């Protein structure tokens, strides 16, 4: 055992119990909607007090792994998580990570482009009129001079969401939630003052037309150009910020 491991605090009993139950859920030993044993039974099984069991249950509830139901038929049950709930959790986590972790904008832009382009071949193959219509609706919003900067940013997010949804793969849509709802707003926040809104709308029109033509290579090329443009704006914003800090 290393010195670091020796100094590392030992997880609480409640934490260990929560991890044991979590592993059982993920391994399928406890199935969806199954009722967990009561607090007294869990306390006896793990050789701990009921308050320690309650700590473990609170941890599991915070992870959305279990839900509590009151009444005669109540108790703690293995949760059934919907796609929308999982999406919301992922967006929240990704947003916190983007705002609190030391991730450079260049790294963020690189990840965004890599993950978006991974969806394009399927999107070009499977896109439906509703996806193209959704993208066109956002282009109309972006073309409107009355659109505020905030609404333009929101429209940009919805536009890219429609592109990802065109791949018609719920797992991809879930994995891309953090990219679209966390990374995209972060880049928008950095670049909104200097970007050419009309130019972006024109690029979005070209991208939509290429998707309609099922030209995956063309879509990827347009995404790369958009990414390069965004990266340039990010660098310019960083240079302006750095110059401002140097002013006495």
220, 210 contact by CB (below 8 A) = no
Checking 67-71 for CB contacts under 8 A at 24+ apart, the result is none
The angle at the Cα of 104, spanning 99 to 105, to the nearest 5 degrees, equals: 85
Residues 217 and 189: their CA atoms lie apart, in Å, by: 29
Per-residue confidence of the chain (248 residues) as pLDDT tens digits?
Answer: 455 555 567 788 989 999 999 998 888 888 888 999 999 999 999 999 999 999 999 999 888 888 888 877 888 999 887 777 777 777 777 777 766 766 777 777 888 899 899 999 999 999 999 999 999 999 999 999 999 999 998 999 899 999 999 999 988 888 888 777 777 777 777 787 888 999 999 999 999 999 999 999 999 999 999 989 888 888 887 777 777 655 45
What domains does the chain contain, in order, with CATH numbers? 3-78 (1.10.10.10), 84-246 (1.20.120.530)
Q: Alpha carbon of 173 to those of 124, 127, 136, 228: distances in Å?
A: 15, 14, 20, 24
């Amino acid at each position: 055992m290393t010195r670091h491991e020796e100094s590392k605090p030992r997880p609480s009993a409640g934490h260990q119990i929560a991890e044991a139950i979590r592993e059982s859920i993920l391994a399928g030993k406890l199935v969806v909607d199954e009722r967990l044993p009561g607090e007294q039974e869990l306390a006896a099984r793990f050789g701990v007090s009921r308050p320690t069991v309650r700590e473990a249950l609170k941890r599991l509830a915070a992870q959305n792994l279990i839900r509590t139901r009151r009444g005669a038929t109540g108790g703690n049950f293995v949760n059934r998580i919907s796609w929308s709930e999982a999406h919301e959790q992922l967006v929240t986590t990704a947003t916190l990570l983007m705002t609190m972790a030391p991730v450079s904008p260049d790294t963020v832009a690189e990840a965004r482009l890599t993950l978006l382009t991974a969806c394009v071949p399927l999107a070009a193959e499977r896109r439906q009129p509703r996806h193209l219509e959704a993208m066109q609706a956002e282009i109309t919003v972006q073309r409107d001079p009355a659109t505020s900067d905030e609404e333009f940013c929101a429209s940009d997010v919805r536009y890219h969401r429609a592109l990802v949804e065109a791949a018609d793969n719920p797992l991809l849509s879930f994995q891309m939630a953090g990219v679209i709802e966390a990374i995209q707003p972060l880049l928008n926040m950095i670049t909104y003052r200097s970007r050419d809104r009309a130019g972006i709308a024109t690029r979005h029109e070209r991208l939509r037309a290429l998707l309609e033509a099922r030209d995956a290579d063309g879509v990827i090329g347009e995404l790369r150009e958009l990414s390069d443009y965004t990266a340039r704006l990010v660098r310019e914003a960083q240079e302006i910020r750095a110059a401002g800090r140097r002013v006495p």
